Structure 1
Amino acid sequence: MDFHDIRFPTSLSFGAVGGPERRTEIVTLTNGHEERNTPWQHSRRRYDAGTGLQTLDDIEELISFFEARGGQMAGFRWKDWSDHKSCMPSKVPDFEDQVIGTGDGETTSFQLIKTYVSGAHSYVRPIKKPVLGKVSLGLAGERQVEGTHYSVDTTVGLVTFSDAPMAGTLVSAGFEFDVPVRFDTDRIQSSMSRFRAGEVPDVPVIEVRV
């Protein structure tokens, strides 16, 4: 899959609408009860980039970005302002935010993840596009030093320790991250007169698996 490691302009994504989507297959039985199943292990996010446009200059910037990606051809990074940290949006990411694994004395690489908890249930989301310079790691509650103790692959969300964490050692992380997406259209329709009147183009963006 063609993916450009560039972020959609944050000034345009700030006003965008969107969020996670699930796919649930529901069968209603003759007795009125339901059977519910899903073919998706992970949710998929959709956004409308058009709602973030405020000026005609914004449209020009959007079109330039769209053309450089070849429409739907190339994926890119998207900042979801409502969910882009390992912690609550009002907090600053800390290396103890998320437990991403437990050492076994042999494994050196760990996938960044974010766990969503509600009541007795939880969902673990793989984080594939962390932001460069915004990842911090800890071992057993002690902060580690990037470049000395570990490295980060921001293209796939893997962190690799120089030495394998000892067996039973909790591996934790704090980070900011982007969502890998692509345009969900090969056409941008805009009108200067309509835009001045308050209408904005529909610019669908959809998450891609990487």
Structure 2
Amino acid sequence: MTAAIPVPRPATKHSVGDDILGILCGTVVVSLGLFLLRAGGDVSGGTAGLALLLSYATPVPFGVFFFAINVPFFLLAIRSKGWGFVLRSVLAIALVSAASAFHGSAGALGALALDPFYAAVAGSTLAGVGVLIFFRHGASMGGFNILGLVLQERFHLRAGYVMMTLDTIVVLSAFAVASWPVVVASGLGAVIMNLIIAFNHRPGRYVASS
């Protein structure tokens, strides 16, 4: 008697409503995490952190660097992930930017001053969970998120580990503009966030698609 050959289960398709709700939930969680990181004075990783460091060193505004750095990543995403992924990612970035500004307004949380290590742990945990939600619904926060997803799909490298390596390089570069306790706290945050992604976003762990 031969054992039955297992048949791969087809991916469950997300509805438009699923994706809208997922992106809105991801927006709230990521934006709150980024707000906490900023409240602790921590240096962020990713292309946003890289753009910020370059803006410190030159007279070029942050927004110009952030756009220019993300362009090649979005071109890669168009080829590898399709226009749907790119448009959802652009929407996610815009919503997170707006929500982050709202958290800091007088009518919401306002100005907070947090211990950098507390902010790194709490903020990075929230940001990691939020990015994971975006991934589940065919979106990202651009930049290193895109590269990590593409390398995982093509070469089976964990997206979280790829992003952790790149984020660590960016955070270590912050020694030029920040004190060592802030850089250490920021590095801890980068590790926490990307471990959450590496452990939870991998082939076979989640089969729904957008």
| TM-score range relative to shorter protein | under 0.3
Query: Comparing both structures, which one devotes a greater share of its residues to strand?
Result: 1
Q: Larger Cα Rg: Structure 1 or Structure 2?
A: 1
Query: Comparing both structures, which one devotes a greater share of its residues to helix?
Result: 2
Which structure would you say has the larger RCO, counting Cα contacts within 8 Å and 6 or more residues apart?
Answer: 2
Q: TM-score by structure 1 length?
A: 0.23
